[in-house]
Amino acid sequence: MGGTDIPIGPVVKRTKISIMREKRIWNDDPDGPITFNDEDMEGIAQPHNDALVISFLVNKFRIKRVLIDPGSSANIIRWRVIEQLGLLDQIVLAIRVLNRFNMACETTKGEITLPINMVGTTQQKKFYVIEGDMGYNALLGRSWIHLVRAVPSTMHQVLKFSTPEGIKTVRSVQQAAKEMFTVEESVKIIKAPDQNEGKNAK
């Protein structure tokens, strides 16, 4: 999921281009490379084809049903979640058109920067606010994944990233993933026409 910004107000031609990069939180990797093994899959229902769904804290409130999506260029959060947090006054007007995988468009209601507390590590990160219904409460895309240099594994249902205190592990809430992406299959039963129906008709 990604998109483009819609300019607000008069458009001004710019001749100078500047690029700002987010400051990396840490540069060292004290525990070596991040790896996964069979122990990471303990307690996971197998076989599975589940997405990686986690939770995190914002100001001591736990946000559940958070989708980790490396395919998205944007971090997204629902308007209703911001309303429940009492932070509607912190939303900054920023209209952005997000394109989904099926090319359907969604226009954001604004953006907000939130302190994401995950396994004792907190980072400030910008979210685009969407009012429509989604299967998840928030989505963390590549901008957050790259910022913390996280490595997600849907197969192991685990996300890991390095910190100065060592490698942190965030485990998926597998049941939430199953509830979010359950597809109800409906089978249409077509009744064959009764051969005697035409004969009996007057």
Decide: 129 and 79 in contact? Cβ < 8 Å.
yes
Quote the pLDDT of residue 115: 95
> At 105, is the pLDDT very low, low, confident or very high (cuts 50, 70, 90)?
confident
Residue 80: the pLDDT is 94
Q: Which residues of 139-159 are buried (b: 16+ CB within 10 A; e: fewer)?
A: bbbeebbebbbbbbbbebbbb
Q: Dihedral through CA 177, CA 178, CA 183, CA 186, nearest 10?
A: -160
At residue 162, what is the residue type? S
Q: Are 36 and 171 in contact (CB under 8 A)?
A: no
Residue 164 in 3-state DSSP?
coil
Question: Do 65 and 182 touch, CB atoms closer than 8 A?
Answer: no
Q: Which domains does the chain have, with CATH numbers?
A: 26-181 (2.40.70.10)
Q: What is the pLDDT of residues 146-157, one digit of tens each?
A: 999 999 999 999
pLDDT of residue 187: 42
